[in-house]
């Protein structure tokens, strides 16, 4: 295996460079909404702090269960005025003192969308009985792995294999695949982490069912989309967390830098090669039972305003409660350009 390692590394680097040059779209943006409630309230800056089943989505190197054998988490979130929903379920188990496995299922979707392609009968009259309903939903299934290195106990490595399924009613669907690589290093009160998401790019293969588009759709000037390949270039998440404890009171401060390669975004730090999204978070706790959290992220610069430029950010707050192996976390933040508030809840249990 060792003699093939240099070849594997060169192949991965070449694949990353080729994917950056040939990106045709930013696939799977639904995974950018954020993780579980604790992460959301911390501005998703907790890559070096998160642990348990919830770490599979954010940083699989943090799957450590702190002495437990099993951990479960469930999230529900409604946004865009309740029109869209985000649901996540995660589980993790410890196979030995140094190895953990996890699985996470993500669904983001809009349901009960009216299909009015056949609203008119052959005689031109409106027939509301012809209205049908469909859903637009995106799914991601994560298989996660994390292991503490025997020769370097302070270092944990991990990874995700991601399977993607996306569908737009009977009109189109897509299948995708991607890999994440992660590491976390603990030194006294300080933890540092790195996660390379979509390490060899993530591919989505879209298939369009053209027979489902009515002639009226084309007659009104619309173009039937074509089957295509979407690719998402790699992104690198670097994060750090510092823990403090005084008696029954504890505090964790954290910061993260998310670098998107291969395309320009509206983040305040950007170039043609990459864009960087900084975020910070703070968690205060009492006896490990009650947590109060706050964070800020998504520093963006809107360049499309005609009158003036505008810089914005997304603040978030939250709280958590842990008793007898159960936990409940809450997060509130403003989502999207419309400034709507989102309430996120996570229920968890571990033993």
The residues spanned by each domain of the chain are 2-350
262 pLDDT above the threshold of 80: no
Tokens 């043609």 map to which residue? 272
Which one, of 290, 330, 348, 343, lies nearest residue 37 by Cα? 330
CA atoms within 13 A on the CB side of 269: 12
Predicted local distance difference test score (pLDDT) of residue 45: 95
The 10s digit of each residue's pLDDT in 305-345 is: 444 456 778 899 999 999 999 999 999 987 654 456 788 99
The alpha carbon of residue 317 and the mean position of all alpha carbons in its chain are separated, in whole angstroms, by 18
Q: Which residue has the higher pLDDT, 114 or 157?
A: 157
Mean pLDDT of 162-177: 90
Whole-number Cα distances in Å, 156 to 182, 193, 228: 8, 9, 38
Distance, in Å, from the CA atom of 247 to the CA atom of 241, rounded to the nearest integer, reads 20
Mean pLDDT of 224-246: 87
Outline where the chain has alpha helix (H).
Answer: 5-21, 37-41, 55-58, 215-219
Distance, in Å, from the CA atom of 221 to the CA atom of 299, rounded to the nearest integer, reads 38
The whole-model pTM stands at: 0.85
Predicted confidence band at 163 (pLDDT cuts at 50, 70, 90)?
Answer: very high
Is the alpha carbon torsion for 35, 50, 140, 265 positive or negative? positive
Distance, in Å, from the CA atom of 190 to the CA atom of 254, rounded to the nearest integer, reads 10
Dihedral of the alpha carbons of 114, 116, 121, 124, in degrees to the nearest 10 = 130
Residue 75 tokens, joined: 């999230």
User: Which stretches of the chain are assigned E, i.e. beta strand?
Assistant: 70-79, 84-96, 99-115, 132-148, 155-168, 172-187, 190-197, 202-208, 228-232, 235-246, 249-261, 269-270, 274-286, 290-302, 310-323, 326-335, 340-350
Mean pLDDT of 115-121: 75
Distance, in Å, from the CA atom of 189 to the CA atom of 52, rounded to the nearest integer, reads 19
124 pLDDT above the threshold of 80: no
Predicted local distance difference test score (pLDDT) of residue 90: 97
Predicted local distance difference test score (pLDDT) of residue 129: 77
**CATH class of the domain defined by 2-350:** mainly beta
DSSP state of 74: E
């Amino acid at each position: 295996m060792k003699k093939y390692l240099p070849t594997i590394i060169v192949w991965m680097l070449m694949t990353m460079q080729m994917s950056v040059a040939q990106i045709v779209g930013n696939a799977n943006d639904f995974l950018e909404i954020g993780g579980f409630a604790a992460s959301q309230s911390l501005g998703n800056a907790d890559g070096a702090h998160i642990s348990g089943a919830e770490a599979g989505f954010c940083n699989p190197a943090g799957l450590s269960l702190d002495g437990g054998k099993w951990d479960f988490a469930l999230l529900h979130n409604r946004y865009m005025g309740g029109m869209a929903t985000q649901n996540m379920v995660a589980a993790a188990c410890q196979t030995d003192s140094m190895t953990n496995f996890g699985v996470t299922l993500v669904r983001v979707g809009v349901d009960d969308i009216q299909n009015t392609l056949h609203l008119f009968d052959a005689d031109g009259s409106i027939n509301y009985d012809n209205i049908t309903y469909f859903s637009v939903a995106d799914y991601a299934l994560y298989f996660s792995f994390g292991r503490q290195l025997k020769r370097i106990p302070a270092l944990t490595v991990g990874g995700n294999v991601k399977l993607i399924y996306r569908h737009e009613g009977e009109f189109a669907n897509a299948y995708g695949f991607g890999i994440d690589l992660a590491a976390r290093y603990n030194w006294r009160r300080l933890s540092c982490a790195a996660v390379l998401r979509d390490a060899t790019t993530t591919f989505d293969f879209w298939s369009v069912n053209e027979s489902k588009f009515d002639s009226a759709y084309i007659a009104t000037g619309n173009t039937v989309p074509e089957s295509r390949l979407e690719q998402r270039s790699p992104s690198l998440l670097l994060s750090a967390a510092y823990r403090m404890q005084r008696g029954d009171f504890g505090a964790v401060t954290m910061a993260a830098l998310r670098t998107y390669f291969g395309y320009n975004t509206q983040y305040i730090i950007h170039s043609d090669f990459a864009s960087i999204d900084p975020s910070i978070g703070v968690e205060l706790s009492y006896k490990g039972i009650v947590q109060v959290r706050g964070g800020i992220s998504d520093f963006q610069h809107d360049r499309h305003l005609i009158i003036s430029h505008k810089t914005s950010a997304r603040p978030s707050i939250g709280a958590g409660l842990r008793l007898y192996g159960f936990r409940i976390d809450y997060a509130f933040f403003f989502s999207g350009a419309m400034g709507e508030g989102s309430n996120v809840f996570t229920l968890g249990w571990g033993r």
